[in-house]
Structure 1
């Protein structure tokens, strides 16, 4: 009886872990705070590209002068 409960619990944990891996968010990140400059975008763009992503402006009407308005979007792999 005890083994069955432990087995059922471990299978449930494995199933939840698999679901979390499938629904895990992108590894995207915001570029930070402050006023944006060409050099900042270039430097952050190079880092983002090295991680497999691209720099995109947020589409929610944010301030394009602020660095926080830009995101490095890195797509998930294996989906």
Structure 2
């Protein structure tokens, strides 16, 4: 197999635990995930800033409120 980027996308639902979110993203990247989508469930702006700083290549979708895990996962 070649060293082309993975077509696999991972969706991580986040709420108020930026350190855990960043660590999860790092572990997924180490496993070859090509794209990371973080769906935020209404976290404070400082938590979002920490996620963006820790995962600069990730796409962050802000829902603006806590919709619950299922709806947030479906949004991704």
Which structure: greater strand fraction?
A: 2
| TM score, norm. by length of structure 1 | 0.32
| TM score, norm. by length of structure 2 | 0.33
Which structure: greater helix fraction?
A: 1
